Structure 1
Amino acid sequence: MAPDAASPELACVVLAHNDPQQVHRLIEALDPFPILLHVDARASDEMFAAITAGLPPRVGVLERRRTAWATWGAVEAEIEGYRAALARPGITHIALISGADYPITSIAEIRSLLQDHRDDSFVVSAKLPYSQWGRTGGFDRLRYRHWALGKRMLRIPIPRRLPRDVVFAGGSSSKILSVEHARAVVDAHDEHPELVRFWRRTWSSDETFVDSILNTPRFTPGWEGHHINAHLWWIDWAGPRKKSPPWIETDVLDRILRRRFDDDQEFAHIFARKFSTAASTPVLDRLDAEYGLRAAARA
């Protein structure tokens, strides 16, 4: 059934690098939302061909960039995804999603949530200093130049001057932005090359650049009135501290179906991470059946 003309449409920027079967399944589950797909330039040509083979017309493939962990490349891919999504007619919100994410509710419920918050963005974001980011509250990420070597940090221990008139903030890279907020991010990126130069050597810039632009009134006026500080992703960080969450398997299925970590949580989660074809297929099958996802593929 075609969506009502007044209903919100979500465009999804999907950042992928492997597991073509999982990426294709995610795209099917997000039908009919338009997809802007980025495949890490570090993936082989064979992997890129497998991920992009047989995609439906609602999927646009973005120019490839190297999106290594904690580097500026992930920000560039995010912004180019926003740019492409903003060119699509009828879009009211844009989600940044990894290829290992998956919806854990129906498309109808996602639409209903965004209908109730047409001008709002869902971003877990806090102004620095952020207590969970160590002794300096995250300012060490900004004050020093950084490089990433694999999943290790190289820091040049010489302080640098921070940009003026910026409200520094940080948070999760997973987010849903209203189109106005996404446009503000793209405009700030395009109009302020000095900030791009600065953030290229900021540690985990995908967790601070967009948040800082959104929290700075000269870039995003009225942000606080339309910012919902709620995480819509179910991610299990329990257990020993790791750089990424574990693969989702059947042992956590019941918890995912509850869609909440806390009983008093205002918004139920609508996505979860992280899934793979090898580890998560039984869970994905249950989610499809529970929420009517991929109905055409399952018919």
Structure 2
Amino acid sequence: MPVDSPELACVVLAHSDPAQVHRLIEALDPFPVFLHVDANTAEPVFDAIVRDLPERVTILRRIPTPWATWGAVEAEIEGYRAALGVPGITHVALVSGADYPIAPIDDIRRMLREHPGDSFGATSPLPYSEWGHSGGFDRLRYRHWARGKRMLRLPIPRSLPKGVDFAGGATSKILAVDHARALVATYDARPDLVAFWRRSWSADETFVNSILNTPAFVPGWRDAHVNTPLWWIDWGGPRKKSPPWLTLVDLPRLETRHVDDAQLVPCTFARKFSTQASTDLMDALDAKLGLRPGAAAR
């Protein structure tokens, strides 16, 4: 593929709301999609999600991905592995089934063209002040399990792996293929790190970010990393485990495509959308951004 025509592959992690997942996939046209559906999703829901999908969608092997567990990391890595096998891919995005574009496809391609070889994602070295008195190290120093959305911690500290530059941050990101390839290679070559992180809390927020930020694993990452969020997410108000559903009243804020004034690059996606809460908002975004042009004819 020519350098002036970047191609984004999208790894979509979904678990519910078949209509929303189908709508998201339509909005991502013509990008190839690698779709993972939580193994815990009921079979009728899974069947509805994967029914009548376009040929550019690849269904991935299903892995259990309960909240805050290792499964989400495993699904993410397997998504990258599949996407990297497609010729011409220059970047790979990790997208939730509850996400939706807030930028035209041409704008997303233009951004990638202006940042060849760059990756995007909000990440910070540990200790990270937003993650409590330990700066996030308690997620790693103790073994964890999750039951529903409750944390179970074994209060016996353990040693941290050596040679790792620990970091944490958002799970949503866009990686250049070289960075994604180095990440997958480290995952395959270091079963000791995989075993350690299986019992870390919310491993999806620290494993990938730590590997990417370790020069021995991903050379050049720090010089080719745009440390800015590309997902507009409303974390304002009281502390919560998940952001609220977006509705039509949020349209003016989404139109700014900025989380804050210091943001380096405008957002390309937002979260969270659902068929029940967000259909009017997504209709407005489609009309404004030219997404899903075929839907208007149906």
What TM-score bracket applies, with the shorter chain setting the length?
over 0.9
Inter-partner Cα distance in structure 2 for 1:123 and 1:260: 14
Among 156, 159, 184, the alignment partner of 1:158 is 156
Instruction: Identify which of 77, 80, 88 aligns with 1:82.
Output: 80
1:89-104 paired onto structure 2 within 5 Å:
89-104=87-102
Name the counterpart of 1:108: 106
- Partner of 1:8, secondary structure, is coil
CA distance in 2, matches of 1:134, 1:71: 20
Structure-2 separation of matches of 1:5 and 1:298:
32
**CA distance 1:4–1:119, change in 2 (3 Å):** closer
Match of 2:122 in 1: 124
How far apart in 1 are the matches of 2:210 and 2:262?
Answer: 29
TM-score of the superposed pair, with normalisation by structure 1: 0.97
Runs of 4+ off more than 4 Å = none
Q: Percent identity?
A: 65
Q: 1:45 corresponds to which letter in structure 2? A: E
Partner of 2:253: 255
Give the alignment of 1:91-240 within 5 angstroms: 91-240=89-238
Contact 2:24 2:99 in 1 (8 A): yes
- Take 2:233 and 2:157, find their aligned partners in 1: how far apart are those partners? 34
RMSD over equivalenced CA pairs, Å: 1.1
Cα deviation 1:177-204 (Å, max 9, x = unaligned)? 0001101110011011000000000000
Q: CA deviation at 1:64?
A: 0.3
Q: CA deviation at 1:82?
A: 0.1
Name the SS for the 1:185 alignment partner: helix
Deviates more, 1:37-46 or 1:259-268: 259-268
**SS at 2:11's partner residue?**
strand
Between the aligned partners of 1:6 and 1:53, the Cα distance in structure 2 is 34
Instruction: Report deviation, 1:261.
Output: 3.2
Distance 1:224 1:264 in 2: 19
CA displacement, residues 194-218 of structure 1 (integer Å, 9 cap, x when unaligned) = 0000000000000000011011111
Structure-2 separation of matches of 1:146 and 1:254:
40
For the residues of structure 1 that align with 2:262 and 2:236, how far apart are their CA atoms?
Answer: 19
- Amino acid paired to 2:220: G
Residue of structure 2 aligned with 1:297, choices 280, 295, 298: 295
Q: Which moved more, 1:123-132 or 1:4-13?
A: 4-13
| Cα deviation code 1:25-76 (max 9, x no counterpart) | 0000000000000000110110110000001110000000110111000000
Q: Does 1:24 align with 2:22?
A: yes
Which letter maps to 2:253?
Answer: R
Q: CA deviation at 1:264?
A: 4.5
> Which residue of the partner structure matches residue 58 of structure 1?
56
Letter in 2 for 1:255: R
C-alpha displacement at 1:4, in angstroms?
6.6
Return the offset for 1:259. 1.3
**Structure 2 stretches of 5 or more lacking a match?**
none
Q: 1:196 to 1:141 in 2, by over 3 A?
A: same
